[in-house]
Amino acid sequence: MSLRILHAVEFYSPSVGGAQEVVKQISERLAARGHQVTVATSRIDARSSQTIGGVEIEQFNIRGNAVRGLEGEVERYQRFVIDGDFDLVMTYAAQQWTTDALLPVIDQIKAPLVLAPCGFSALDNEAYSAYFERLALNLPRFDALILHSEGYQDARFARAAGAANMHLIPNGADEREFGQLPARGAFREAHGIAEDEPLVLTVGGHTGLKGHAQAMAAFTRATECSGATLAIIANQPTGRGCAFSCRRRSRWLNLTRRDRRVLLADPPRAEVIAAYADADAFLFCSMVECSPLVLFEAMAAGLPFLSLDVGNAAEIADWGGCGEIVPSGRNAAGNVTAPASAVAELLDGLLADPERRREMGASGRSAWQESFTWERIADQYEQLYESLLR
């Protein structure tokens, strides 16, 4: 049956980010299957069309959340959801306006209402304590919760709040990009990296929270990285972020450590895929995550990864048999951290054992092909939506 679906997410294409990508992948695939999909999202100047990939876009001038305050067309958004002729509404991520503006009017929404919590990144933030007290009362009022993890903090919180209708639907990577990997060597040739030189890859925007400084610190300490390149592929999101400090730090490291190199790049997507295909290991030192897409992409590329214990990275490593997790703690701001020496030690072990890397990579790619392509994941969203209407 053809469904009229509303997906609500704070930012959407052409904006780039993890939440944007998840909702885009699911929305466009469901639209291609004949469903009428609309996305409610923030208005941005860069969006030139109200239809993207078969998905209708409804823009709102709204900013903020329930803690910082909501400003703009809040009532218009609420009426759009309440009065809209939708069979189902899914709002992606808490702590932002598309979810928080609906909490006061949940009982007025006639269509089944689904929430994908997306991690509850501010769960330990004292400023959000009252917010989460109220949210615990509201979670059981949603018709379903979509969780990307069995054991991360949003899943634990939802169970403690008494939410019963919870569904594990993981994230994934695009089979159209990773199904046929490019021949090895293109990224190395473009950046002067010899075939026998170790290439360590990390991917994540210059937000200041993706752990670029931590990755560089570990890279400089790892003895197996002599003669190696650390490629940090990162776009520049809104705001200054860490781009300036990363450029300064990488220049200093390249001047003082002549036995290794840090490469900063923001290439077209095809070159990003080529980097996955050419790398020897993926290093992920991000400090705040829910279920990071780049680890699924490493899995899809047959690339073993080393990650801090952030979000559900440990689950992804277990699901794919393709990752190793650095024992980690949290700093005063609640961000995940680990000593650079501990990261470097595990990175050394991974780079020194090519047979183990090959086995991990093969295991990860096989698991991705079986369970973590976006097409298979879209099946799970579609089946859940249809079950709620039955």
User: H/E element holding 52?
Assistant: strand 51-52
Domain 4-172+373-389 identical in fold to domain 175-371: yes
pLDDT of residue 1: 81
Amino acid in position 330 = R
Residue 200, pLDDT score:
98
Q: Is pLDDT above 80 for 176?
A: yes
- The string of pLDDT tens digits covering residues 182-206 is 999 999 999 999 999 999 999 999 9
- Compute the mean pLDDT over every residue in the chain, rounded to the nearest whole number: 97
- Give yes or no for residue 274 having a pLDDT over 80: yes
Task: Quote the percentage of the chain above a pLDDT of 90.
Answer: 97
If pLDDT is split at 50, 70 and 90, which confidence band does 319 have? very high
Return d(Cα 342, Cα 333) in angstroms, integer: 21
Residue 389: other Cβ atoms inside 10 A: 11
Integer CA distances (angstroms), 333 to 122, 124, 209, 313, in order: 10, 9, 11, 20
What pairs with residue 139 in β-bridges? none
Closest CA relative to residue 278, chosen from 199, 356, 173, 357: 199
In which band, very low, low, confident or very high, does the pLDDT at 237 lie, cut at 50, 70 and 90? confident
Two tokens at 235? 């776009």
346-377 confidence digits (pLDDT tens): 999 999 999 999 999 999 999 999 999 999 99
User: Which fold, 4-172+373-389?
Assistant: Rossmann fold (3.40.50)
What is the predicted pLDDT for the residue at 238? 72
Q: What is the CATH number of domain 175-371?
A: 3.40.50.2000
DSSP 70-133: EEESHHHHHHHHHHS--SEEEEE-SSSHHHHTTGGGGGG--S-EEEE-TT-TTTT-GGGHHHHH
H-helix or E-strand spanning residue 20: helix 18-32
* pLDDT of residue 159 exceeding 90: yes
Flag the least confident range among 35-39, 97-101, 208-212, 235-239. Answer: 235-239
State residue 94's pLDDT score. 97
Give CA–CA dist 46/276, Å, rounded: 28
- Can you give the pLDDT at residue 101? 98
CA distance 40 to 116: 15
- The encoded tokens of residue 43 equal 């208005």
Give residue 146's identity as a one-letter amino acid code: I
Instruction: Give which of 79, 61, 80, 58 is closest to 70, Cα–Cα.
Output: 61
Strand partners, 5: 37, 88
What is the pairing mode between strands 51-52 and 55-60?
antiparallel
Residue 239 has pLDDT above 80, yes or no: no
Contact at 8 Å (CB) between 47 and 57?
yes
pLDDT tens digits, one per residue of 245-272: 999 999 999 999 999 999 999 999 999 9
- Residue 130 pLDDT more than 80? yes
Boundaries of every domain in the chain: 4-172+373-389, 175-371
- H-type helices in 181-312, by residue range? 186-190, 212-221, 243-256, 269-278, 293-300
Q: Do the bridges between strand 323-326 and strand 305-308 make them parallel or antiparallel, or are there none, so unpaired?
A: parallel
Tokens of 118: 């997306």
The confidence band for 277, taking pLDDT boundaries of 50, 70 and 90, is very high
pLDDT band at 321 (very low <50, low <70, confident <90, very high): very high
Confidence at residue 5, expressed as pLDDT on a 0 to 100 scale: 98
Provide the Cα torsion 137, 143, 146, 149; round to 10°: 50
17 conformational bin, left if phi > 0, alpha if psi -120 to 50, beta if neither: left
Give the model confidence (pLDDT) of 52-79 as tens digits. 999 999 999 999 999 999 999 999 999 9
**What is the predicted pLDDT for the residue at 246?**
97
Selection from 30, 328, 292 nearest residue 171 by Cα: 292
Paired strand residues for 372 = none
Query: For 304, phi and psi rounded to 5 degrees?
Result: -65, 145
Q: What are phi and psi of 141, to 5 degrees?
A: -85, -15
